[in-house]
């Protein structure tokens, strides 16, 4: 891919500008793949199994080419805006970033999200026997062919719930870190009337929490014997949800390009 092709893609009106900035990166489940420039580039660059294999040499070569094109575009934009990229004090910026990182990691939201990710691992480790039992139970139902039983449907909804939990398990932390760090950089007096990137990131984290809670509800229905543990998980997520909403009161109303509709009556 060359610079001109990238510019041409960026100017294509079918793509929703910036949609990929506030999505959950779950492209396989995204209803906007045909309107996302990121998805189009990834498909163009890595169209088949061989080239999309991250261990494949072709993958890294293409990634390196894309990096070079991106770097050229950055230099071009900096020149246009009169920014001297060499004048940045890299060490000072790195130290500032490190301090911000430490502060964000210690924020109550990020600490709780980190704990949640660990709780999920612990739960799946301790529930491995139950998964086997569930599979046996569903297989026997298939063999018995009982009326009104839908073992395939149950297995699918169970699998979906596990996928949802695993997808957001670490992403909630990552998005909250981005939100907290973004909040540190934003200057409230200047940006008060504009939508804030930190609210957008917090919204993605909140959506991940909501969906994870729904998925835990599903798991709870299947594993009533582990009700206490899944209730702990739900309780923890609910506290995290309420805390994040307090810290980012405007997050829920943040309009994500493509995903959220603008309310013309408000």
* Chain residues in the site for ligand SF4 (CB under 6 A): 19-20, 23, 25-27, 30, 32-33, 36, 38-39
CB of 98 to ligand SF4, least distance (A): 29
CB of 159 to ligand SF4, least distance (A): 20
Q: Which is nearer to ligand SF4, 59 or 124 (CB)?
A: 59
CB of 158 to ligand SF4, least distance (A): 24
Q: Which is nearer to ligand SF4, 70 or 106 (CB)?
A: 70
C-alpha angle 20-2-77 in degrees, rounded to nearest 5: 65
Q: Which is nearer to ligand SF4, 6 or 155 (CB)?
A: 6
Q: Which is nearer to ligand SF4, 96 or 210 (CB)?
A: 210
Q: Which is nearer to ligand SF4, 111 or 170 (CB)?
A: 170
CB of 36 to ligand SF4, least distance (A): 3
CB of 124 to ligand SF4, least distance (A): 24
CB of 118 to ligand SF4, least distance (A): 26
CB of 26 to ligand SF4, least distance (A): 5
Q: Is 216 within 8 Å of 240 (Cβ atoms)?
A: no
Spatial separation of the C-alpha atoms in residues 230 and 214, rounded to whole Å: 11
Spatial separation of the C-alpha atoms in residues 151 and 154, rounded to whole Å: 5
Inter-axis angle of helices 90-105 and 151-185, to 10 degrees? Answer: 130
The 8 Å CB, 24+ separation contacts for 232-240 are: 232/119, 233/116, 233/119, 233/120, 233/123, 236/112, 236/115, 236/116, 236/119, 237/116, 237/209, 237/212, 237/213, 238/213, 239/112, 240/109, 240/112, 240/113, 240/116, 240/172, 240/209
Q: What's the burial of 205, exposed, middle or buried (CB within 10 Å: 0-12/13-18/19+)?
A: buried
Residues 6 or more apart whose CB falls under 8 angstroms from that of 183 comprise 196, 198, 248
Q: Which is nearer to ligand SF4, 138 or 202 (CB)?
A: 202
Q: Which is nearer to ligand SF4, 24 or 232 (CB)?
A: 24
């Amino acid at each position: 891919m060359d610079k001109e092709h990238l510019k041409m893609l960026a100017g294509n009106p079918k793509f929703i500008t910036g949609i990929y900035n506030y999505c959950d990166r779950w492209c396989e489940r995204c209803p906007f793949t045909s309107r996302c420039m990121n998805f189009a580039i990834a498909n163009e660059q890595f169209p088949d199994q061989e080239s999309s294999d991250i261990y494949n040499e072709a993958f890294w070569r293409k990634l390196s080419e894309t990096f070079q094109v991106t770097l050229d575009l950055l230099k071009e934009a900096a020149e246009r805006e009169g920014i001297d990229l060499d004048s940045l004090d890299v060490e000072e910026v790195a130290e500032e970033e490190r301090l911000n990182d430490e502060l964000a990691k210690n924020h109550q939201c990020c600490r709780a999200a980190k704990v949640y990710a660990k709780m999920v691992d612990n739960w799946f480790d301790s529930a491995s026997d139950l998964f086997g039992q569930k599979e046996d139970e569903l297989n026997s139902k298939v063999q018995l062919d009982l009326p009104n039983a839908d073992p395939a449907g149950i297995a699918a909804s169970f699998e979906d719930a596990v996928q949802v939990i695993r997808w957001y398990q670490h992403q909630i932390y990552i998005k909250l870190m981005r939100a907290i760090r973004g909040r540190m950089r934003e200057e409230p007096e200047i940006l008060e009337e504009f939508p804030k990137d930190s609210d957008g990131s917090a919204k993605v984290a909140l959506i991940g929490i909501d969906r994870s809670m729904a998925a835990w509800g599903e798991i709870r229905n299947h594993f009533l014997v582990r009700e206490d543990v899944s209730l702990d998980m739900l309780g923890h997520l609910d506290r995290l949800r309420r805390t994040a909403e307090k810290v980012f009161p405007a997050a829920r109303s943040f309009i994500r390009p493509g995903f959220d509709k603008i309310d013309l009556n408000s």
